Structure 1
Amino acid sequence: MDSRTFKVAGISTSPSGLTKVRFANDYVGRIKTLNMRRHTEVKLVELEKPMSKADICSFLMKHSDFQSEISQTAITQYVKRNVGKVKLEVDIEPATVSASAPIPSEVKAD
């Protein structure tokens, strides 16, 4: 998944009957595009701040406008297909080790 952020998100159903999660940065432009393509059941919300797709999905799962079975299924399917594929990159610094206690005589090498 990419690191882009979006200010508008929601769901819509395509003419073929497929309901999907939608992401955009322009509310009016996205509505026009979905209407032009004859989508139905368009539900979009403007977010308070730009969010990643993973954060948006988490937000939509809890939002009162997206509690229907169709909405929850669309969001869950998106998460299963896309969010689970995130590669985790971790920067690991080697730990510094220092011995401040004296080593017992029975452990010392001869």
Structure 2
Amino acid sequence: SIVYPWYKQLLNETERETVKVLILAPKAARDGTVEKLYFYGLFNEYYEGERIIYAESIFDEEIAINILDSWILDTYAADAFFDDPTQLHRDVMANEAMVYVKKMFKTIKN
């Protein structure tokens, strides 16, 4: 791989444990895409979001860096305000929506 030597030679151990990658691709992220699987393996991660970020249809470097900056800022803000670094990466109503939908289907099944 072209990435692995760079990853091992240019980053120290601390940097390797914290580095983030923004994957730019023409289509929406799908389970099993080789780009995501590669970085899951390299970073020993099991999901996208904390260190692996996917953006579709972005091919301008400045826009990509702005997206990554926003993602990182949202992570820090969510951790500070909600004690949950993923909170601002989800729909604002996600927690309540999950409760509502579970109740709705429980009612339908009974």
TM-score, scaled relative to structure 2? 0.32
Higher helix share: 2
TM-score, scaled relative to structure 1? 0.32
Structure possessing the higher relative contact order (Cα contacts under 8 Å, 6 or more residues apart): 1
